[in-house]
A = this chain, B = another copy of it.
Amino acid sequence: MPTAPSANPAVDTAAVAALLERGRTMSTPVLRAAVDRLAPPMDTVAAYHFGWIDAHGRPADGDGGKAVRPALALLSAEAAGAAPEVGVPGAVAVELVHNFSLLHDDLMDGDEQRRHRDTVWKVHGPAQAILVGDALFALANEILLELGTVEAGRATRRLTAATRKLIDGQAQDISYEHRERVTVEECLEMEGNKTGALLACAVSIGAVLGGADDRTADTLEAYGYHLGLAFQAVDDLLGIWGDPEATGKQTWSDLRQRKKSLPVVAALAAGGPASRRLGELLAADAKADPGERPATAGDVDGFSEEEFAARAALIEEAGGREWTSQEARRQHAVAVAALDRVDMPGHVRAQLVALADFVVVRKR
């Protein structure tokens, strides 16, 4: 399996597609039944968010996301020797927490688009985005705890720990946007919190529900955490250079938001003429709007496509793009290596490796 940092792995596309499809097929009906428990109008708002209906309430076949987490939660159960079904409540709980955080983060960040559609706060207003986010978070705990088992309590505890890290990460993300400098280490810590922690939980939750001990769960979480960092490094690349058609986000999305993402902080840390010029530009941008970040921050005012393109080119010239690509492959290698420390069926291990490969080559 090609996991060396110098090249992207070859992906078994069909195997990954089948895994993602299985995760979606097995978890979506349970997820929909959970969301149906919400009182009106929260059920409708949530159904819009998940892409099951459009803004007018008509059935839709929206893009529900990549569904990497459900696929991982089912494999997680299998890694502990349980049936994939055992991981389903875990898959649903993790998806609920993930979507709770999307609803709140989109509002806090002022993001108007997600998955090619207007975000919930844009369509249904800020109050519904807050309320439905809260409801999905509560529902996640409900789905697990109603199992009534000791394992469910342990799984909920891990999910709660991951959710706290998710919130820490969002707090860091917000505070970094108006700081002139963020170190690469700070950025990796933030991304580990925002993305690594919940992916880690997805990879341990099925195993915990299947009776795995804490050591096994912790090692599976190490795979998931580094997979999350690889995932986020790729996300950061797509956030600047991604194809809007594929990602469903605006061009230069992360630059519009002034996100101190990995390519940016790596470029600033690199030194050299392009790095210095980038630093001067970003410092000037920050001075031009030094105010407190509003709940709905929106774009950096008054910048043209050309100005964003110039910043992107400087980041690339300073080496931020290449460093981030390398970082994705480094994290991928660490993730895959963790799998050797867990005794699991060979085909489960192979599928976890295939998913890791997919994460670093995806275009959306």
Which residues of chain A have a CB within 8 Å of any CB of chain B?
A: 39-42, 100, 104, 107-108, 125-127, 130-131, 133-135, 137-139, 141-142, 145-146, 148, 150, 152-153, 156-157, 160-161, 163-164, 167-168, 170-172, 174-175, 292-295
Contacts and interface: CB of A to CB of B under 8 A. Distances in A.
A141 B156 contact: yes
Main secondary structure of the interface of A (DSSP, over half): helix
A146 B138 contact: no
Given A108-B131, A126-B294, A160-B142, A172 B137 contact: no
Contacts of A137: 134, 137-138
Given A142-B157, A146-B157, A295-B295, 12 more contacts: A39-B168, A104-B130, A107-B130, A108-B126, A125-B293, A126-B126, A127-B294, A130-B130, A134-B137, A139-B164, A145-B153, A156-B156
A329 B15 CA distance: 66
Nearest to A140: B160
Q: Which among A39, A134, A174 has the highest number of chain B CB atoms within 10 Å?
A: A134
B295 A125 contact: yes
Contacts of A135: 164, 167, 171
Contact of A127 (B108, B152, B153): B108
13 contacts: A39-B171, A42-B167, A125-B292, A126-B295, A127-B174, A127-B294, A131-B171, A134-B137, A135-B167, A138-B163, A141-B141, A145-B156, A153-B156
Contacts of A171: 39-42, 131, 135
A81 to B, nearest CB: 24
A272 to B, nearest CB: 33
A161 B134 contact: no
A235 B150 CA distance: 40
Contacts of A141: 141, 156-157, 160
A55 B164 CA distance: 25
A160 B144 CA distance: 11
A37 to B, nearest CB: 8
Nearest to A39: B168
A124 to B, nearest CB: 9
